[in-house]
Amino acid sequence: MARTGDTRSRSRGAKVRVKTARRRSASSARWLERQLNDPYVAEARRLGYRSRAAFKLAELDDRFGFLKGAGRILDLGAAPGGWVQVARMRAGPDARIVAVDLLPVEPVGGAEILELDFMADDAPERIRAALGGAADVVLSDMAAPATGHKQTDHLRTMALLEAAYDFALEVLAPGGAFVAKVLRGGTEAELLGAMKQHFETVRHVKPPASRKESTELYVVATGFRPELSKS
């Protein structure tokens, strides 16, 4: 796994400029230029990761070590599968990994992919059956499709986080970890406060692979205490 410094140094060089064209808007040109000049995108391609987001999970795990030794891992909103790849590599060959998404996810060796809505009525039973027991780690890198309206995007993504958190409370084993994306925007404080009542430690982190201009943070909650979630 490449470290952040290695990722940046390998990809240095002349910056690529992208011009607008007849069928390319200014915003599309800016997005393409950012992609072409992003060292994490280049390194993900070189290492065979499906997205640059794989480095975010790797960096969080470098710091907090929640994947090593985990016997059962659940990844909610797993497409395109970058987090599944990192979890498979780091948790060990005997770990059972279940990935869930509404969209198709290309197979990852040693992981079970479920194409379903984890909020559907039959989802909990299907996911528990696939896990074969309580999860040691629940992951979520979900974000709602962008509308261009920051407050709307924040509220929709936070609703996904709340759903993932509620599901984690149901399936996590004692001492388990919940790792998920959070968008700063004013409504996250109450949910993060609730997490502190159910986990021994809750940290807010912006991994180096997260773009500086992004409002995203990641919550790393460890030491799940199930007796408190039922009170």
Q: What digits encode the pLDDT tens for the residues 120-169?
A: 999 999 999 999 999 999 999 998 877 778 788 888 889 999 999 999 99
The arithmetic mean of pLDDT across residues 204-225, rounded, is 92
Predicted confidence (pLDDT) at residue 186 exceeds the cutoff of 80: no
Give this prediction's pTM: 0.82
221/139 same-domain check: yes
If one counts every other C-beta atom within 10 angstroms of the C-beta of residue 70, the result is: 22
- What digits encode the pLDDT tens for the residues 98-127? 999 999 999 999 999 999 999 999 999 999
For residue 230, the model assigns a pLDDT of 55
Predicted confidence (pLDDT) at residue 184 exceeds the cutoff of 90: no
120/22 same-domain check: no
In the chain, the largest separation of any two C-alpha atoms, in whole Å, equals: 60
8/93 same-domain check: no
Domain containing 98 — which CATH number? 3.40.50.150
217/173 same-domain check: yes
For residue 38, the model assigns a pLDDT of 59
154/182 same-domain check: yes
Per-range mean pLDDT, top range of 3-12, 149-158, 195-204: 195-204
Domain extent at residue 114: 53-229
DSSP character at residue 100:
E
Question: How far apart are alpha carbons 62 and 129 in whole angstroms?
Answer: 30
34/95 same-domain check: no
32/57 same-domain check: no
Q: Known catalytic residues?
A: 181
Predicted confidence (pLDDT) at residue 32 exceeds the cutoff of 50: no
Q: Which residue has the higher pLDDT, 183 or 56?
A: 56
Q: Which long-range contacts (CB under 8 A, 24 or more apart) does 155-159 make?
A: 155/185, 155/187, 157/181, 157/183, 158/182, 158/183, 158/185, 158/187, 158/188, 158/191
Number of structural domains (the chain) is 2
Predicted confidence (pLDDT) at residue 46 exceeds the cutoff of 50: yes
Closest CA to 88 of 178, 1, 202: 1
- What digits encode the pLDDT tens for the residues 82-92? 999 999 999 98
